[in-house]
Structure 1
């Protein structure tokens, strides 16, 4: 179990305001998504596993998930660190804030890893790590800090399970090589 690590944790001011706590991950995710605008064409050029959603699904889904996780982070951190709570609840809330910050960094790294650098192994490992961290974070927040925050994380955890499947499936079906040369060679 990690603990609260101030140097690896977003400032408390981000968690103190629900609107900012929701908007912050949405803004970061939008910036990363915008920087990788050409992913639709790339995504469609790769062999993808069954149940692959159309590209237009990802923007709305991630926007909702980022907003939901931001609100969960607000609830767990702001409410959980109230001086009226038990020391164990405050410690769990701070621990969760560190995990939330780490997972947000991993989340934002996935698209550049997978689409920018075309590193499907690293992208799949990143996604699997996200799944594990967020499953634990949902458990931690839901059982030790704020039950609603834990429940709010479950759609994100479910989507991360699906995203891990898509990452691994795409990597596997393309021989773990997503370079333009490999994709063109396989399509000929």
Structure 2
């Protein structure tokens, strides 16, 4: 299991200030969404063969914005509970969760460029599987600091499980090649 690694963890201010904690993932997620050209992403999504139960493209923005805000709040809540604890184990768990949080946000933010930007569904699916595992670990660790944190992360774990199904399903149904739907020229990659 991952321990606290200061060089892989956001600075304390990210977790100590509620506005920073909540806005950081929301702004980063929105930035990645806009950087991957939303009109092109939406068009690509519409051209791909989809597995059953795929949601409409418009749902992803509100769902992810909500999840980013919840994960940000959870990071603030877990850090605050851990930092204010007199139990050294609780403090260590809060810090360990902060490292996992930083790693998971990085994994989260690279999925969209992998899938839509580069048309690499295998890499994107591997990324989201790893992301789901890290978030599950983070929920477990922070749940020991504050049980509410585990419950706050439950919708995120559920959505990631569904997103893993979608990522793998789209990859499989499109022969793991999104170049025809996305306009990505595989020869240039």
Q: How does 1:32-43 map to 2 (within 5 A)?
A: 32-36=32-36, 37=38, 38-43=40-45
1:73 aligns with 2:70: no
| 1:186 matched residue in structure 2 | none
| 2:140 matched residue in structure 1 | 139
TM-score (norm 1): 0.93
Once superposed, which parts of structure 1, at least 4 consecutive aligned residues long, lie more than 6 Å away?
A: none
Secondary structure in 2 aligned to 1:167? helix
Contact 2:26 2:68 in 1 (8 A): yes
| Structure 2: 5+ residue stretches without partners | 184-189
| 2:157 matched residue in structure 1 | 157
Kindly report the root-mean-square deviation, in angstroms, between the aligned alpha carbons of the 2 structures.
1.3
| 1:170 matched residue in structure 2 | 170
1:9 aligns with 2:20: no
| Structure 1: 5+ residue stretches without partners | 184-188
TM-score (norm 2): 0.93
The structural deviation recorded for 1:178 is 0.8
The structural deviation recorded for 1:146 is 0.8
| 2:26 matched residue in structure 1 | 26
Distance 2:126 2:62 in 1: 24
